[in-house]
Amino acid sequence: MTRHAFAHDAVLMMGPEADLRAPGGAVTTALCGHWEHEPPCPVAAHHTAAVRVDGEVRVHVLFATEPDREQRVRGLIDAALAAGAFAGPDGTASFWSLTSSARGEVAPEETAHAARLTEQ
């Protein structure tokens, strides 16, 4: 079955000292078993971006999977973000609370990246 690109958006509350890479590490660990792994991603090829906006952290996950696995992938992303914590490579933990999580849109400027993910 052919992979399709999807997006998932979440809003987190994170202290200013928290590592913005931590939510992405949590998502990668949920989807791949560990934040550091050899390609390809076993469940869904993905890319996670997090930015601080007006006191919130907005997380955008671009991922590619078979359509019949989309809900499973979204569930794994939600569970990883709902956990509210992740320890980075140096062992320092970052904490957050999940405010919202929902289906996102693949932005026009992500089209090329999405195409690369569907090929993995």
Per-residue pLDDT tens digits for 14-49: 999 999 999 999 999 999 876 766 767 778 899 999
Lowest mean pLDDT among 8-17, 38-47, 54-63, 66-75: 38-47
Q: What is the mean pLDDT of residues 82-104?
A: 95
CA 64 to CA 52: how far, in whole Å? 25
Residues recorded for the chain: 120
Confidence label for 115 from pLDDT (cuts 50, 70 and 90): very high
Task: Give kind and range of the element (H or E) at residue 11.
Answer: strand 4-14
Q: What is the pLDDT of residue 95?
A: 97
Task: Give kind and range of the element (H or E) at residue 27.
Answer: helix 22-32
Domains and their CATH numbers in the chain = 4-119 (3.30.70.600)
Task: Give kind and range of the element (H or E) at residue 112.
Answer: helix 111-119
Model's pTM, two decimal places? 0.93
Q: What is the pLDDT of residue 42?
A: 75
Residue with structure tokens 């997090």? Answer: 50
State yes or no: pLDDT of 1 exceeds 80.
no
Residue type, 64: A
